[in-house]
Amino acid sequence: MVQKVSVMVVDDSALMRKMISDMINMEDDMEVIAIARNGEDLLEKLKKQVPDVITLDIEMPKMNGIEALKKVMELKIPTKVIMISSLAQDGAEETMECLENGAIDFVPKPSGSISLNINVVREILVSKIRGIRFVRNTSSISNTKDVDIKEGKTREIHRVSQVLKIRERDSRPKVIRNKEIGNKKISAIVMGASTGGPKALFNVITNLPEKLGVPILVVQHMPEGFTKAFAERLNKFSKVKVVEAREGMSIEKDVVYIAPGGKHMEISRSKTITLNLESPMWGVRPAVDKLFISGAKVFGENLLGIILTGMGRDGADGIIEVKKAGGATISEDESTCIIYGMPKAAYDTNMIDEVIPLYDISKRIANIVLGDVKN
C-alpha cells in the first residue's frame, strides 16, 4: 500500500482551512495531519511534525506567506510548499516571488475577485499534491548572486537555497544523442516547462545576452491571471525584452514571448502569434506541443526546441515534429530538474540532440545561436 502524502494546511481563514482540508481528505492517498492559522503558528507546528507538503496562503496576519516561506526554506526540512494564491494582480506578483523563493508550485485560491469553480480548484490542488512524490530534493542547492544586467552592477537576485548556481564552466552538453548542433543556423527558439518551470525559466532567460538575434517563445503551464506578472518579473531582470504574448503580435528578434495562461499559443505562417481556446492537451492550456508543432512548420530546420522541468509528457510530440523538420533539440538534464517528467518523455522519443544541466542552458543557447562565444 502506498503511504499517504501528509499535508499541513496554513490559512488565517477558518472557512478556507476547512475547505482545503476537506478537498485533501476526500482523496485516499493524502491526508491533512495539521492546520495552522498563520506563519508563526506554522513554524511552531513544524517543531512537532514535518509534513510532506505545506499548503500556504500568501495573505495572513502576523507573518504572511512570503515571510513564512523564507523561514521554512531556512530550516532546510524535507517538506515541499504549495502556495494558495489570489488571482488579483498583487497576488500574482507575490506568487512569482514565492516560486523564486522555494515554493514548488501554486494553486489559485477558490475565492476572490475572480471565482473559480470549486471542483476545478480541488482537481488542481490534489493533482499538485499527488505530484509531490516525483519532486526531487533540492535542499542542497546553494545561494547564488547574479548580475543586474540592466545596470551592470552585481546584486543579489535570489536569497534562498532553492536557486541553481550559474557556474563558470565550458557550456558543453552532458550527453549528445544525435549529431552535434553547434553549427546549425537557428532563427527561432521554443521552450516548454511545467512544475519548477518558473524558476528554471528565470535562470535561463535572465542569463541570455541582450543581442541574441532570434525570438524565443515560451509555454509555461500556468493558469490565467498569472502569466502577465511572470513576464513582467522576467523582463525586470533580463537583458532581453520579455512580454506576455497577445493575438497578432509580430514575432521579433531579441524578444521573449510568454504564452498567456488559459490560451494555446501557436506561430502562424506569417510569423505572428495566434492564440486560441481549443481544447486542452494533456489536461493543460497552453500546451507545449501546440507551440512546438506550429513552430516546426514555420521555422523548419532553423528551429531550436528546449524542454525543461515538468510533470507529464507535454512537449514530447512537439520535439518529434521539430526533429522531423530538421530542427535542433535540447532537454534539461535529470540532475537539475525539479520533476524529470517532460524532459524524460522528450528524451525517450530518441529525438533529443543534447542533454544539458540547467545552469549551462543559457550559455549553450548563446554558443549555438551566436557561435562559440562567451555568454
114 and 183: one domain? no
Task: Report if residue 55 sits inside a domain.
Answer: yes
Please state the pTM of the whole predicted model: 0.86
Task: Report if residue 245 sits inside a domain.
Answer: yes
- Round to whole Å and give the CA distance between 362 and 330: 12
Q: Provide the pLDDT for residue 91.
A: 77
Domain count, the chain: 2
* H runs (alpha helix) in the chain: 14-25, 39-46, 65-75, 89-100, 118-131, 197-205, 227-237, 288-299, 316-324, 342-347, 358-370
Query: Which residue in the block uniquely carries the three cell numbers 478556507?
Result: 16
Please answer whether residues 109 and 14 qualify as being in contact, where contact means their C-beta atoms are separated by less than 8 angstroms: no
Please list, residue by residue across 219-241, b when 16 or more beta carbons sit within 10 angstroms of its beta carbon and e when fewer do. bbbbbebbbbbbbbbbbebbbbe
Q: What DSSP letter does each residue of 302-350 carry, written as one string?
A: GEEEEE-SBSS-TTHHHHHHHHHTT-EEEEE-GGG-SSBSHHHHHHTTT
Least confident of 19-33, 61-75, 143-157: 143-157
Task: Report if residue 106 sits inside a domain.
Answer: yes
Average pLDDT over residues 88-98: 82
126 and 190: one domain? no
Q: Provide the pLDDT for residue 165.
A: 39
Backbone angles phi, psi at 322, to 5 degrees: -60, -45
Q: Which residue did the predictor score with more confidence, 160 or 198?
A: 198
Task: Give the CATH number for residue 327.
Answer: 3.40.50.180
Please answer whether residues 329 and 308 qualify as being in contact, where contact means their C-beta atoms are separated by less than 8 angstroms: no
366 and 220: one domain? yes
Query: Residue 348 above 80 pLDDT?
Result: yes
Query: Residue 26 above 70 pLDDT?
Result: yes
- Round to whole Å and give the CA distance between 356 and 276: 32
113 and 239: one domain? no
Q: What would the grid cell of residue 240 be?
A: 532581453
Average pLDDT over residues 21-35: 96
Which are the contacts of 245, defined by CB distance < 8 A and separation ≥ 6?
A: 217, 257, 258, 259, 260, 265, 273, 275
Task: Report if residue 104 sits inside a domain.
Answer: yes
The pLDDT tens digits of the residues spanning 228-252 come to 999 999 999 999 999 999 999 999 9
Q: How distant is the alpha carbon of residue 187 from its chain centre?
A: 24
**Where a domain ends, among 134, 162, 183?**
134
109 and 188: one domain? no
The pLDDT tens digits of the residues spanning 130-162 come to 988 888 755 433 333 333 333 333 333 332 233
Backbone angles phi, psi at 279, to 5 degrees: -55, 145
- Round to whole Å and give the CA distance between 125 and 82: 9
Q: Quick one: which of 62, 85, 64, 72 has its CA closest to 16?
A: 85
Query: Residue 322 above 60 pLDDT?
Result: yes
Average pLDDT over residues 107-119: 64
Query: Residue 113 above 60 pLDDT?
Result: no
Task: Report if residue 159 sits inside a domain.
Answer: no
User: Percent of the chain at pLDDT above 70?
Assistant: 84
Q: Quick one: which of 206, 276, 214 has its CA closest to 245?
A: 276
Task: Report if residue 145 sits inside a domain.
Answer: no
Helix (H, G, I), strand (E, B) or coil at 190: strand
- Round to whole Å and give the CA distance between 216 and 190: 6
Q: Provide the pLDDT for residue 179.
A: 65
pLDDT category at 118 given cuts 50, 70, 90 is confident
Task: Give the catalytic positions in this structure.
Answer: 194, 221, 314
**Where a domain ends, among 81, 109, 134?**
134
Query: Residue 356 above 90 pLDDT?
Result: yes
Q: What DSSP letter does each residue of 89-141 carry, written as one string?
A: HHHHHHHHHHHHTT--EEEE-SSSSSPPPHHHHHHHHHHHHHHGGG----TTP
**Where a domain ends, among 134, 158, 186?**
134
Query: Residue 350 above 50 pLDDT?
Result: yes
112 and 218: one domain? no
Task: Give the CATH number for residue 96.
Answer: 3.40.50.2300
Task: Report if residue 364 sits inside a domain.
Answer: yes
> Residue 9 sits in which domain range?
5-134
Average pLDDT score over the chain:
87
Average pLDDT over residues 26-40: 96
349 and 212: one domain? yes
Query: Residue 116 above 80 pLDDT?
Result: no
Rg (CA), the chain: 20
Q: Which residue did the predictor score with more confidence, 64 or 113?
A: 64
107 and 192: one domain? no
DSSP E strands, 211-259: 216-220, 241-244, 255-258
Q: Which residue did the predictor score with more confidence, 326 or 118?
A: 326
321 and 215: one domain? yes
Task: Report if residue 375 sits inside a domain.
Answer: no
85 and 223: one domain? no
Helix (H, G, I), strand (E, B) or coil at 191: strand
Query: Residue 37 above 90 pLDDT?
Result: yes
122 and 185: one domain? no
Helix (H, G, I), strand (E, B) or coil at 200: helix
91, exposed or middle or buried, with CB in 10 Å at 0-12, 13-18, 19+?
A: buried
Query: Residue 176 above 60 pLDDT?
Result: yes
191 and 85: one domain? no
pLDDT category at 371 given cuts 50, 70, 90 is confident
